[in-house]
Amino acid sequence: MRIFPLFKKAMIENFRDWKILIMGLTFAPFFVVLMYFYFGEAVESYRVLFINHDQGVITKDGNPFNAGQALVSEMMKIKYSDGTNMLKVSQEEELAEAQKRLKKKSVDVIVEIPENFSQILMDYKEGKRPDPAVVKTYGDPANAKYMMAAAWSDSITYQFTVNWTGLKGPLQLETESLSQLKSLTDFDLYVPGLLALALMMLMFTAAATLIKEKDKGTLVRLRISNMVTSEWLLAVSLTQVIIGLLAVGLTYLTAVMFGYQTEGSLMSVTVVCVLSCVAMIAISFLVAALLRTIFDLMTIGCFPFFILMFFSGGMFPIPALKLFVVGGYTINVNDILPTSHSIGAMNKILNRGAGIGEVGFEMGAIVILSIVYFAAGIWLFTRRHMHAN
C-alpha cells in the first residue's frame, strides 16, 4: 500500500504552500468576527415609542389610575426566554417629535394613547358601553421591523384591556412554543452558514493541490510508476478532510468565543462536516479539471466559489425554485449544491438540537451529490491531466 507516502507528500505540499492554507483556515473565522460585530449579540428587539395622552381616573377605592402608564409597564415586562426584553419601550410628549424619530428609524412603531383611555376602561368595567377607545399606531412600511412591532403592541394592548376590564370577547389568543430552545440571534442563525463557508474554502486548497501536481509533472511520473489512481485519490482526500475539519473547528471556536452556544451534538456536526468535505473535494476535482494554473484558480476559480457561497442559502435567503418532490421532500434548484444541504443539516443540529437521524435526508443528498460530482470530476480530470504518454 502506497497510501501513507502519498498522504505524507500531499500534506507536506499543503503546508509548503502556506499562503493558500492560511487563507482557507482563516477566511470563515474572519467572517464570524465580522458578522458578530455587524449583527450584535442580542436577539431581535422592537422599539415602541408611546405618546401617552391619558388623563387617568380616580378609582372607587380613591386611588389614582392611569391605564396608559399601566399599559407601558406591561409592554416592558415582555421578555424572551433568556430574559432579554422583546420590546424597547420609550415615551415622547409630542406626536411631531415622535414622527421625526420614526422617519430617522430610531423607533419602529409609535403608539398614541387617547386622553380618555382610563375613563373608557373604567366605564366598561362598571358595565357601561361607551364608544371604544381609539389607540393609534404609526409606522413606516419601509422599516422591516414595523409590522412585527405593531403586531406585538396591538396584541399586548388588546390583552391588557381584556384583563383589566374583565370583559371576555369572542376571541382568545394563545401562543405556545414548539420547543424549549433558546431564542436565536441573527448571529446564531449565520453560524451554520459560516461553518459551511469554511468547508467551501476547500475548493481552493484541494484544487490547488491537484493543479500543482499536474503543473510539476508529478501526476505523469506517478502514473508511470504504476500508481493506483484510487490510492492517490484517497491520499489527497484524507489530506483535505483534515484541513476541512481544522477550518470548521477554528470557525466554531471563534463563534463560541463570541458567545455562540450549540443545542446539538458536536459529533453529529462532525459527521456532516466529513461528508461535506468529501463533497467539496469532488467539486474541486471538477474545478481543477477545467483550469490549468494556480492563477486561473485564484481568478476564474472565484466564480464557482461565489456560486457556492451565495446560492447555498447561508448568506441570505434563496427563493424556492421547485424542481420536483421526492418522498415528501421538495427539491429546489439550489439543492444541486451539496453545501445547501450541509447548511440545512448543521442548522438543524446546532440551532434546533436535532440528532443525526433527523438529518438523514440532508446527509443522503450530500452523499449522492458527492458521487455525481466525483464521477464527473475524476473522469474529466483523468481525461485531461493523467495520461502517461
Shared domain for 147 and 228, answered yes or no, is: no
Share of the chain above pLDDT 90, in %: 38
User: Strand ranges (DSSP E) for 287-363?
Assistant: 322-326, 329-332
User: Strand ranges (DSSP E) for the chain?
Assistant: 46-52, 57-58, 64-65, 87-91, 109-113, 136-139, 322-326, 329-332
Range of the domain at 119: 46-165
In single-letter form, the type of residue at position 15 comes to F
pTM: 0.75
Shared domain for 353 and 381, answered yes or no, is: yes
Grouping H, G, I as helix, E, B as strand and the rest as coil, residue 92 is coil
Shared domain for 60 and 34, answered yes or no, is: no
CB 52 within 8 A of CB 91: yes
- Residue 50 belongs to domain with CATH number: 3.40.1710.10
- Is residue 90 very low, low, confident or very high in pLDDT (cuts 50, 70, 90)? very high
Shared domain for 19 and 102, answered yes or no, is: no
232 part of a folded domain: yes
Shared domain for 157 and 190, answered yes or no, is: no
Give the pairing type, strands 322-326 and 329-332: antiparallel
**Which grid cell sits at 94?**
409630542
**Which grid cell sits at 211?**
493543479
Reference 54, options 39, 40, 65; nearest CA is: 65
Per the structure, how many domains does the chain have?
2
Shared domain for 209 and 135, answered yes or no, is: no
Shared domain for 65 and 120, answered yes or no, is: yes
pLDDT digits (tens, 9 = 90+) for 247-303: 999 999 999 998 888 888 999 999 999 999 999 999 998 998 888 888 888 888 889
- Is residue 332 very low, low, confident or very high in pLDDT (cuts 50, 70, 90)? confident
170 part of a folded domain: no
pLDDT digits (tens, 9 = 90+) for 176-211: 655 555 667 778 888 999 999 999 999 999 998 888
pLDDT digits (tens, 9 = 90+) for 92-125: 988 899 999 998 889 999 999 999 999 999 888 8
Shared domain for 124 and 25, answered yes or no, is: no
Task: In whole angstroms, give the CA distance from residue 82 to residue 350.
Answer: 18
Which of 78-87, 271-280, 309-318, 346-355 has the highest mean predicted lDDT (pLDDT)?
A: 271-280
The pLDDT mean for the chain works out to: 85
Show which of 118, 136, 165 is a domain's final residue.
Answer: 165
Quick one: pLDDT at residue 173? 63
Shared domain for 381 and 353, answered yes or no, is: yes
Quick one: pLDDT at residue 9? 78
214 part of a folded domain: yes
Shared domain for 128 and 227, answered yes or no, is: no
Share of the chain above pLDDT 70, in %: 89
Shared domain for 34 and 136, answered yes or no, is: no
Shared domain for 17 and 138, answered yes or no, is: no
Q: Which residue pairs from 299-307 have beta carbons closer than 8 angstroms and sit at least 24 positions apart in sequence?
A: 301/203, 301/204, 301/207, 304/203, 305/200, 305/203, 305/204, 307/337
